[in-house]
Chains A and B, each alone.
Chain A
Amino acid sequence: MAQAKLTFADVSLTVNVPAGTRIIEISEKIGAGITYGCREGECGTCLTRIVSGAENLTEPSALEQRVLKENLAARNDRLACQCQVLGGEVTVRPA
């Protein structure tokens, strides 16, 4: 299975994950500072700053795009409960 490296800058931890993993699946397990609320892409609580590797994430769905906009998200912010890591290296931190 394809692998990716997902780094959580706020806790200095890199996790080797299978492609297709959602960021929140890992952030919660390792106790990173990315928080979560509804887990369904509605509340915007898990807003995450993509420090690098944004091109290695799935494109935002229409729902995610709407929630990002309504939560005044920056251009390099994504929802940890929605986006999946496709491969390569991605570094994130709480927005």
Chain B
Amino acid sequence: MTPRATLDLPQMAGAADAMQPVPVADRVHWVGALDPDLRNFDIILRTANGTSYNAYVVRGSTGVAVIDTVKQEFTEPFLKRLEAVARYDELTTLVLNHLEPDHTGAVPELLRRAPHLEICVSPRGVQVLRALLKDRFDDYAVRIVRTGDTVSLGDQTLRFLTTPYVHWPDTQCTHLQDQRLLFTCDLFGCHFCDARLFNDRVGDFRFSFEYYFEHIMRPFKAYVVAALDLIEPLDIAMIAPSHGPILRAHPRQYITHYRRLVKSRLASEVGDQKTLLIFYVSAYGATSMMAGAIYEGAAENPDVRASLFDLQIGEFTPFVDLIEEADALVFGSPTINGDAVKTVWDLLAGLVDIDTKGKLGAAFGSYGWTGEAVQMVEGRLQGLKMRVPEKGLKIKLHPTDAELEDCRDFGRRLAAHLTGRMQPREVDFADL
């Protein structure tokens, strides 16, 4: 095994574990941990220079609060830093803005040492806290906090903002009003490890900031907007996230930048029309014929802008941007070896980065023997939280003229669903 090179990199300045608490503001210290060797986060993110787990201690005249903790393996350095700025018996409050393991790994040990702490979590946060503490949950003082609730530390006050789904249901922000400091946990965070900590001192983290938004926040854009609506009116001199640089220089610029990132990536030219996108792959031309006929049927509706794409030709990234804005998605795949084709699965897998909840979905395809692909794709569309009210359309081999008319009808019905003009129907449970 090749020994790791020892370099005086900014990620590790002073050696990550030996790093002292860092003053962030008056009686506010960073007591988090640096993880410069991490190269992959949560399986889905590449972290080319590691990450940090930022945790903070806020001292007031009558109480001391800990804001978030760190990943379990960094518990000891975190507690050492904490001990350098406060005794355990001085601590009064533990704020958990988000309960993913990278921020709560040290919670069990911290509570073992300071069992008297009042734990402040969002309404949804309490569900995860229950799972984290298991049969010890009832041993602790847990307080559910909502927007506007406060915790007084004497001459410093913490005020909470319930900001769900940025990026878990439990997420919240905490505003230290007196110092105009906002603790945002993952919001405004990024995986960028640099011991210099502050955005005006660290290396160039612009790519990391946008990459993090793209994969962590983008699927929850509507919730990011709601969070920004709560945050923007606040008096903010500094944003202290739980990963990456602390944003003390021009914090408003990052709020403005988030506003840009949540906007549509495509110019809107469709007006009030609903957009319906048909993606297909075809082996012998039969699924392609079906796609064309479905397109014709949907396009008859003047309130629907239908589009047709051959997936084997297109680039996926622009397709994902298009899908993010679309109202309806229709996927066509032949059945090959009892499955939908890989190209379709690849695109469907890529939709994890965007919000598809509530969009209209449908599937179709030609087949030779079994035709399972259509049902499999429908299952994935439901898994993406789309509504799939029309049973998928399957045709054996090439469609006849009558079957092509069935395809047009399928397109017409999808358009009717999309425009809210579907006639009410009634069925019996036994017929489902």
Contact = CB atoms under 8 A, between A and B. Distances in A.
A11 B417 contact: yes
A65 interface: no
Contacts of A32: 387, 389
B385 interface: yes
A71 B128 CA distance: 12
Nearest to A71: B124
6 contacts: A15-B427, A26-B432, A33-B358, A33-B385, A33-B386, A72-B124
Contacts of B126: 70
Interface in A33-59: 33, 35, 42, 44
B387 A33 contact: yes
B385 A35 contact: yes
Interface string B413-432: 00001000011111111001
Given A15-B428, A28-B382, A31-B382, A70 B423 contact: no
B123 A70 contact: yes
A29 interface: yes
A31 B357 contact: no
A94 B289 CA distance: 35
B127 interface: yes
Contacts of B164: 72
A18 B430 CA distance: 10
A26 B429 contact: yes
A71 B426 contact: no
Contacts of A30: 389, 432
Interface in B397-427: 417, 422-427
Interface string A13-26: 11111100100001
A72 B172 CA distance: 14
A14 to B, nearest CB: 4
Give the size category of B's interface with A. Answer: 20 to 34
- Say whether chain A's binding surface is mostly helix, strand, loop, or mixed: mixed
Contacts of A26: 429, 432
A74 B338 CA distance: 44
A16 B390 CA distance: 18
B388 interface: yes
A92 B6 CA distance: 62
Nearest to A42: B127
A30 B361 CA distance: 12
B169 to A, nearest CB: 7
Given A15-B426, A35-B385, A70-B124, 18 more contacts: A12-B423, A13-B425, A13-B427, A14-B425, A15-B432, A16-B426, A16-B429, A17-B429, A21-B429, A31-B361, A31-B390, A33-B385, A33-B386, A42-B127, A44-B124, A44-B169, A69-B123, A70-B126
Interface of B: 123-124, 126-127, 144, 162, 164, 169, 357-358, 361, 378, 382, 385-390, 417, 422-429, 432
Contacts of A67: 127
Among B164, B385, B428, the most chain A Cβ lie within 10 Å of the Cβ of: B385
Interface of A: 5, 10-18, 21, 26, 28-33, 35, 42, 44, 67, 69-72, 94
B357 A16 contact: no
B138 to A, nearest CB: 14
Contacts of A14: 424-427
A53 B252 CA distance: 48
A35 B388 CA distance: 11
Contacts of A70: 123-124, 126-127, 144
A22 to B, nearest CB: 12
Contacts of A33: 358, 385-387
Contacts of B386: 33
B424 A72 contact: no
A75 to B, nearest CB: 16
B424 A12 contact: yes
Among A5, A18, A70, the most chain B Cβ lie within 10 Å of the Cβ of: A70
B424 A13 contact: yes
B429 A10 contact: no
A71 B170 CA distance: 9
A71 B428 contact: no
A69 B429 CA distance: 32
A32 B432 CA distance: 13
Contact of A71 (B123, B144, B378, B382): B123
A29 B432 contact: yes
A16 B427 contact: yes
A94 B358 CA distance: 9
